[in-house]
Every structure is written in C-alpha cells, then in structure tokens.
Amino acid sequence: MDNRCIGVFDSGLGGLSVMRHLIERFPHEDFVYFGDTARLPYGTRSEETILKYVKGDMAFMDTFHVKMVIVACGTASSVALPRMERHAYPVYGIVQVSADAAVRATQNGRIGVLATETTIKSAAFEKRIAENDPAAKVFPVACPLLVPLVENGCIDDELAVLGVEKYVSQLREQDIDTLILGCTHYPLLRGVIQKAIGGKVKLIDPGEETARFVERILSSGEIEPADVRKGEHQYFVSDSVYNFSAMGSLLLGKDIAKQVKKIDIEKY
C-alpha cells in the first residue's frame, strides 16, 4: 500500500470538478489541491508566463509527499506539461486523458473542443487526437468568457446561457457527435452546454476521464493505492480563502472552509 497523497492543481476553482470525481472514486486516498486564484486565469497568458506559473505550482507540490500529480488545468496541461522537467513522481494532464476518451467515444470521427485561448492556440487536443486517429476531424473553439463566469458563480443563470451560446453556436453546424470540455471549469457549466449543443452529442468531462485514468494506474500496480482508511483532503489557494471556500463547498457538496489555507505562491 502507498499512503502518499495525490496532488492536484489548477488555476482556480475548475480543478474541483476533477477533485469531486477523484474523491468519490478513491475515498481512501489523501489529496492536496492547489488553486492559483491570485494569478487566474491561465488561459489568456503567454506560454512563457504559464511555464513560470506551473514551475511554481510544481515546486509547491514538491513540499508534499506526493505519489502523483494531476495537472487539472487544460492550459497548463497543453502548454507546460510537454516542456516540464522530470520529477520523482509521475505527472498527468487532462488534455491527453480527455483527447484519448474522445477518440474512443466518437462514432463519426467529428470532435468538438471547447477550451481556453492558449490551449486552442497550442493545438494540443488536435495533435493528441491525430496520434490516435489521423482521420478524425477536430473543431476547436476558444472560450475566453467561460472561466470568469464560473469563478464568479455564474453557472446556470442567464449570463451562463449567453456565454455558452456564444461559443457552442459555432459547433452546431459541424455535425460533431463528441464534445470535449477542454477546461476543468467547463463541466460546472455542463447542463447549459448540453442543452446548447443537443442531447445527442457526447460530452467528455475531464474530471470523469481523469478519475477513470487514475483508477487504471492504481489497479495496474504501477502505483499502489492507499490502505483502507478515511482519506484526508487539504486545499490551498493563492488569494481569498473565503471566496474559494464558499464556491468550493457548494461544488463539492460539503463544507471545506476549515480545510482551505492561503499561501504565497511567489515563494515557490
């Protein structure tokens, strides 16, 4: 048994959509989560800035006894992960996991991608999908407004509907049968997105797919699972504890206020 914790980091709240699935599937595991709320959003930053931020995020993760780290930020996963220095533990990103799931799910080979501007510019999803299925057609759409909407609690109101419609409308004429939610903030808008694109289109949730991926890793013996006990969860942010705790408690369905601490990420 390996009782070291699993690290997860994101630019803000979005990675909690991954955490929710991980906690549900692995109740015995310890998790440490970092949301870089002071430097949000990553998706509009330059590649050099993102690399700088991720180096700090990983340096913070290094202060814990982690057995793996999940990069729960689509932008960091697409831009920084391929250029990241090797660590003593494995590091996995949501882009690769989600792209692989989309190839398995599609029936007509036409896949849509909603993601941040920087992720779309990196063409990370297209490259990964092409590695699995060179004949697949990918239709990427940059969605700069969606992360701020989620971070401000606009999840199922009129603003969310208008923001989602602005981007999803570009995909309705493309005959896609699969749509990747390429940022971990977007599953929090899943109901609005599904209604906008239509019920026949399969949505790829990076949180669900990451949990399945981690399950395969732990069951394969590549990394041992924790023993039978109640897992502990720690949450860290680089800005307001109150705002993160309030929204995080709502999204996770439990009060996490006492588990959230603020850190100075610039020290890392």
Distance in angstroms (rounded) separating the CA atoms of residues 68 and 245: 25
Q: Cite the DSSP H helix spans in the chain.
A: 16-25, 47-61, 74-79, 94-105, 117-122, 124-132, 146-151, 158-168, 190-197, 206-220, 241-252
| CB distance 223 to 200 below 8 Å | no
Distance in angstroms (rounded) separating the CA atoms of residues 72 and 183: 8
Catalytic residue chosen out of the listed positions 5, 73, 143, 154:
73
| 3: Cα within 13 Å, side-chain hemisphere | 6
Distance in angstroms (rounded) separating the CA atoms of residues 81 and 58: 11
Catalytic residue chosen out of the listed positions 5, 143, 154, 183:
183
End-to-end CA distance of the chain: 30
SS3 199: coil
| CB distance 194 to 129 below 8 Å | no
Is 183 known to be catalytic? yes
Distance in angstroms (rounded) separating the CA atoms of residues 237 and 259: 11
Distance in angstroms (rounded) separating the CA atoms of residues 123 and 125: 6
CA-CA-CA-CA dihedral for 49, 51, 54, 59, to nearest 10: -110
Distance in angstroms (rounded) separating the CA atoms of residues 43 and 150: 14
Is 154 known to be catalytic? no
Q: Tell me which residues are annotated as active site.
A: 73, 183
